[in-house]
Amino acid sequence: MNRWIDRASRLIEALMVLMLAVMVVLVFGNVVLRYAFDSGITISEELSRWLFVWVTFLGAVVALKENAHLGTDMLISKLPPAAQRVCLAVAQALMLFVTWLLFSGALAQARINAEVEAPVSGLPTWIFYASGVVFAATTGLLLLRELWRTLSGQVRRDELVRVQESEDLAQMEALHLDRSGTYKP
């Protein structure tokens, strides 16, 4: 299962890179065309905005998979492991609830806008709202899996605190450095 999730994550990351590349080409090309040739790519702004929304939601999926969201563990780290496990399960259940709200809202918006066309591209606007549906469905599955691992006791003690205090500390831990910057095996 972990291998499949890792492959899906790499696929999402590759898709995000492709989307960012398209955004750069559209926006940069539009700027060059406007200033140099007094013309432009009509669809550039609309498509770039849609791609940006998709990249944001897909990036949040990858961040959830890698536990890369920032947070504070000031209270949780001081609790005993059993209380940390309870807090983690409650947090995961709350995230599942919010994910359900997002899923139902995005799905409702996609249905409402199923027949509506975007003003410039003429594409159906449900594509825009489908980003929320895809995000919620994907993160819902990840959260369900993690909640199961938490409730069944499969989560190791070092996995009970799932937040990073800062991006710098997360990078140091990834490089196996302690707070002073020296290597720790």
Residue 183 lies in a domain: no
Residue 129 lies in a domain: yes
Q: In this predicted model, what pLDDT tens digit does every residue of 142-174 receive, in sequence order?
A: 999 999 998 998 878 776 776 655 555 556 566
Residue 100 lies in a domain: yes
Q: In this predicted model, what pLDDT tens digit does every residue of 41-64 receive, in sequence order?
A: 888 888 999 999 999 999 999 999
Token pair, residue 53, equals 């929304």
The mean of the pLDDT values for the chain is: 85
How many domains does the structure of the chain reveal?
A: 1
Binning pLDDT at 50, 70 and 90, where does residue 84 land? Answer: confident
pLDDT average, residue stretch 103-131: 92
pLDDT computed for residue 96 by the predictor: 96
Residue 18 lies in a domain: yes
Parent domain of 152: 2-174
What is the SS3 assignment for 123? coil
Residue 185 lies in a domain: no
Q: In this predicted model, what pLDDT tens digit does every residue of 64-81 receive, in sequence order?
A: 988 877 777 777 778 888
What is the SS3 assignment for 124? strand
Residue 181 lies in a domain: no
Residue 110 lies in a domain: yes
Residue 71 lies in a domain: yes
Q: Which parts of the chain fold into alpha helices (H)?
A: 2-37, 44-65, 81-112, 126-151, 167-174
> 73 with 161: CB under 8 angstroms?
yes
Read off the pTM: 0.80
